[in-house]
Amino acid sequence: MIQKSMSKLEQEVMAIIWNCKSCSVRDVMAQLTNSKLAYTTVATILLRLYKKGFVTRKGQGVSFVYLPKVTKETYVKKMAQIFVKNLYSAFSDTAIVSFVESIETLPKEKKSYFLKLLQDKNDNK
């Protein structure tokens, strides 16, 4: 299971891979918002993502094509679980109270949807 997080640049590169489904270093470079990055920098980021287990790669000629190994949904869910666990560990009930109070700031539809999710989770226990 995912235990590692991604840097901001790794997240940006991973978003491109999730969107494209299969990308070379040049494909990623063409879509990056920071167009000043060197080819070798982007290749290094992709290698890091590969070593962390977020992508897989296939040789294509003299280069690699990178494919997502982890879905965006799986990554976000795991990171949210880790965040909530760490927040609760550090701040106990204060964190939960703040979280509940922040629900009031959501748009009405989102608030209703979120509360329904919580109710459904509670009903399934």
Q: Which residue bears the tokens 């703040």?
A: 98
Query: Could you tell me the mean pLDDT of each successive run of 10 residues in the chain, 125 residues long?
Result: 77 94 92 86 94 91 89 89 85 83 86 86 76
3-state secondary structure of 65: strand
Q: What is the pLDDT of residue 27?
A: 93
pTM of this prediction? Answer: 0.72
H helical segments located in the chain = 8-20, 25-31, 39-52, 72-102, 108-123
Cα–Cα distance for residue pair 42/55, rounded to 1 Å: 14
Q: Count how many Cα atoms sit within 13 Å of the Cα of residue 85 in the half-sphere of its side chain.
A: 6
Q: What is the pLDDT of residue 3?
A: 58
